[in-house]
């Protein structure tokens, strides 16, 4: 049997057949994983996210995904990290207590307490996007589908409101019609 394998290997140009004592070559040698291309869902979520972040930017809020803290002295949000463990967040709260005026939040939560409605809507969009992205790694439920549908409607409303606000068009009522002169039957005018 081994001799037949040896002949077949020689026939197909593979050299000698591997014996149990000969280590096999690494099957993954030379393999480079290809980046996963974004599908239509990822592209739609990215587009919605960019629109919501543009609302944040217009309101003077940060736009980099991650965790932030707000110093009670200057009132500005400062980037802390892209990701924090619960332990790290707890330690930050111990080091900078909320009782002293320090605030901590994720980017998607920064706009929830703003006075502008469009900023609050953008924050809700960012939260829904984060939830859907997290859910894509597990089984999607009916609740996820409802969130996705609501996200689409909210995105259209935000986009339309942004387009109206950014538009240079002004709508004014039409001028009232001019009075028409009437002619009588004899050809004269009144």
- pLDDT at residue 120 tops 90: yes
| Structure confidence by residue, pLDDT tens digits, 68-109 | 888 888 888 888 888 888 888 888 888 888 888 888 889 999
Band the pLDDT of 147: cuts 50, 70, 90: confident
Q: What are the residues whose beta carbons fall under 8 Å from the beta carbon of 142, sequence distance 6 or more?
A: none
| Structure confidence by residue, pLDDT tens digits, 17-29 | 445 555 566 666 6
Tell me what the pLDDT averaged over the chain comes to: 77
pTM: 0.58
Q: Worst-scoring range by mean pLDDT, 23-37, 87-101, 104-118, 119-133?
A: 23-37
């Amino acid at each position: 049997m081994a001799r037949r394998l040896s002949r077949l290997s020689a026939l197909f140009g593979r050299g000698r057949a591997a014996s149990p004592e000969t280590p096999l070559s690494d099957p993954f040698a030379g393999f480079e994983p290809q980046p996963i291309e974004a599908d239509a869902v990822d592209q739609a979520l990215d587009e919605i996210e960019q629109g919501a972040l543009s609302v944040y930017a217009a309101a003077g809020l940060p736009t980099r995904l991650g965790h932030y803290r707000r110093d009670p002295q200057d009132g500005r949000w400062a980037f802390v990290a892209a990701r924090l463990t619960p332990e790290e967040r707890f330690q930050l709260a111990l080091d900078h207590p909320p009782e002293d005026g320090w605030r901590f939040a994720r980017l998607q939560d920064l706009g929830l307490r703003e006075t502008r409605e469009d900023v609050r809507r953008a924050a809700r969009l960012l939260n829904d996007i984060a939830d859907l992205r997290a859910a894509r790694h597990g089984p999607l439920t009916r609740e996820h589908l409802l969130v996705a549908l609501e996200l689409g409607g909210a995105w259209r409303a935000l986009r339309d409101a942004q387009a109206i606000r950014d538009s240079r068009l002004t709508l004014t009522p039409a001028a009232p019609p001019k009075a028409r002169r009437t002619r009588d039957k004899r050809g004269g005018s009144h």
